[in-house]
Every structure is written in C-alpha cells, then in structure tokens.
Amino acid sequence: MFNTSGHVSSHEITKEFLLSYVSELDIFRYYIPTFKRIGVSFCSNIRKDKVPSCSIKAMPSGMLLYRDFATGEKYTCIRYVQHLYSCDYNTVLRRIANDFGVLKNNKTELLKKRELSDSIIYEEKQQQVADIRIQSKSFTFHGLQYWLQYGITREVLEMYNVKQLSVSEVNDTQIQFNNKELAFAYCFGNYKYKILRPNSHRKYKWTSNADKSIVQGITQLQQSGELLIITKALKDVMSLRAFGYSAVAPQSENTELPDKAIAWLKDKWARIVLYYDNDVAGIKAAENHSLLYGIEYMHNPIDMHKDFSDYVKNEGKSKSLELLSNLLERK
C-alpha cells in the first residue's frame, strides 16, 4: 500500500483494515485538537464556535459519533475527516493511513495503542452522562397552572431558570411536546438539565444529567441571612421562595451537599434547617445529614402531606405558612 517514500500506493485501503490498527478515538483526537474526553463538550474546529457545542459520544454499538448541536451535524470518525478536508471517501482513507503511518510503523506498537484506546473508550463510556438538549417555549396556560398549585409564579420560575419545553433531545432520542403533555427543564448551565414530565409514567417522569456538585437554588440565594432551609427538591425550594423563605436542595435526599457548599452556607447563614419528606426514607436521610452537617432537621407530621409543596397544593398558602412557622418554632 505504501512505497518507500511513504506515499500511499494504488492498492485500496479499506475502512476495516484501517480501523484494525487505528482506533476511532485516536482519529478524532488527532484531527480535533479541542476534543479531550468522550461526553465532554468542546468548540468546533470547523467553524467559529465561542460556546462549546460539539461532543463525541460512545454509541451502544461501541462506535464513536461526532455531534454538533449547533448545526445538527453528525459524523463517524472517517466521515468527519472527509468533511474536514472536503475529499472523497477513498482519499480520506489514504490520508488517515498516511498520517498514522499504518504500514510504516511497527504493527505491534499500533495494536498496543489501539488496545489502550479501546479500554479508554470503555471506561469513558461507563462514566459518561446523558447528552441533553432542549428547545423551550413560552409558558402555556396549563404549564403555569401546574406550578401555581404549588404557589410558584412565573416570576419565581424565571428566577430559577425553569423552562417549559417544546422539544427535548436525550442522546439520540428526540421528543416533541404538544400542549397536552407538559414538560419542563431545570436549567443549571453548561448543558446540565433536569427534565420533569409531571404527567408521565414514573419511569419517564425525570431525566437528568446533573451531578451531585450542583446545588439547586444556590445561585439564587442572597449572600447571607438569618434562616436557610435545605429541602429535597427544586420544586420545594421555589415554593418556599414564593412565600419568602430562602432554600436550597441537593439533587436528592440521599445526596450529600459538597463540603465546600455546606461550609459556605454555614458561614453565611445564622440558622440552617433540614426539611425533607416525612416518610421513612426522608426522615432517615435527614437524621444522617443532620449529624453530618451539624445542623437541625424537621419534617411534616407523619399523617400530613409529605413535603412543603404538596402541603401548599392541598391546604393552601395560609395553612402552609402556619405549618412552617410551627415547625420552625418547635426546634
């Protein structure tokens, strides 16, 4: 395939032959200097791109796929290089083979490198989180009514960067939402979202790529204060905020707040109270976190609604504020 000068001969190079010695990961890394890790967004090197909008995803088959979320373009590694250099398919195979020195290099060393790359792909595929992209729309009447039952107004939704969705795309699955199916996104920045479909089956109600480092509601806090409530969900954070209480939430009751976050909160707030669900799991989590953080905890009486937002929905604002006042006074 190559002559002594290092140029490709007329003998055809196939994709199968090329990929038997060079991994898709190495091809992407060679031709995309900004690509560092599978599943992590980077800036395009094909067009002007100030905000990272491209990523490499490991498909279930093991194949790697380049995706540009700004343009909608998708490429395999070979098709990407073909697009990069605007050449035909056979030419791009020869170019990649020539750039990697497939026949000139020691094949044993190439195979060792290929084996290492395959193991990296496997490890990074195990660690990667969902790619989520959204298209939002103005809140509909039914969309706002869903939140108002918890006392949460449009202004509070905008404060916490909650959007109503027209389209969500999770990995390669796109869903369009008409006015009959409600869908919302909690937007945390850097393409991190928590999608809520309140009327869907429990299995499909939540989709998220937010990790435990994201403390819900922390960016909306004032810098300090007398009372802060750590609750278990952003819905409760917003419901409390609508009635004048400052609050934050981890990603779930069983998720510990990052050490830096809890240290900052304890330094800035005179009193911090945990307020999780009144079921067995919620009370157990509150007990554990109370000991861990060195703060007090409370919960609704066992025979009442499980959390603050549900209490608002079922009992109204006046009774909910009375409940909260009583709970805080008992501590």
At residue 261, the pLDDT reads: 94
CA dihedral 136, 137, 139, 143 (to 10 degrees): -60
User: Considering only CA atoms, which of 117, 110, 109, 111 is closest in space to residue 58?
Assistant: 117
- Tell which CATH classification among 3.40.1360.10, 3.30.1330.30, 3.30.70.260, 3.40.30.10 matches the domain 215-331: 3.40.1360.10
Cα-based torsion angle of the residue sequence 306, 311, 313, 315 in order, rounded to the nearest 10 degrees = 140
The three-point CA angle 311-313-314 to 5° equals 65
Least Cα distance to 43 among 62, 63, 71, 83 occurs for 71
User: Could you tell me the CA-to-CA distances from 315 to 139, 188, 236, 312, 328 in Å, in that order?
Assistant: 25, 31, 15, 5, 18
List the structure tokens of 47.
């067009």
pTM recorded for the entire structure: 0.64
Q: In the chain, where are the structural domains located?
A: 15-127, 131-210, 215-331
H/E stretch holding 55:
strand 54-58
Which residue is listed with tokens 């073909």?
Answer: 82
Q: Which two tokens stand for residue 278?
A: 């009144």
Identical fold for domains 15-127 and 215-331, yes or no, is no
Taking every pair of Cα atoms in the chain, the longest distance, rounded to a whole number of angstroms, is 87
Q: What is the pLDDT of residue 7?
A: 42
Integer Cα distance of 168 and 183 in angstroms: 9
The DSSP bridge partners found for residue 271 are 227
The pLDDT of residue 192: 92
Please report the pLDDT score of residue 23 as a whole number: 87
| pLDDT attached to residue 9 | 46
d(CA 108, CA 106): 5
Which two tokens mark 246? 């400052």
Distance CA 64, CA 47 (A): 21
Please report where in the chains the tokens 């026949």 appear, as a residue. Answer: 103
Pick one of 3.90.580.10, 3.90.420.10, 3.30.465.10, 3.40.50.880 as the CATH number of 15-127: 3.90.580.10
CA proximity to 57, closest of 77, 34, 43: 77
Compute mean pLDDT per 10 residues along the chain, 331 residues long, and list them: 39 82 90 86 87 82 84 91 93 90 69 60 55 93 96 98 94 85 94 93 84 93 94 97 97 89 95 95 92 95 94 96 93 58
Cα gap 129→170, rounded to integer Å: 10
- Closest to 213 (Cα-Cα) out of 255, 272, 275, 160: 255
Cβ neighbours for 11, distance < 8 A, ≥ 6 positions apart:
1
- 142: three-class secondary structure by DSSP: helix
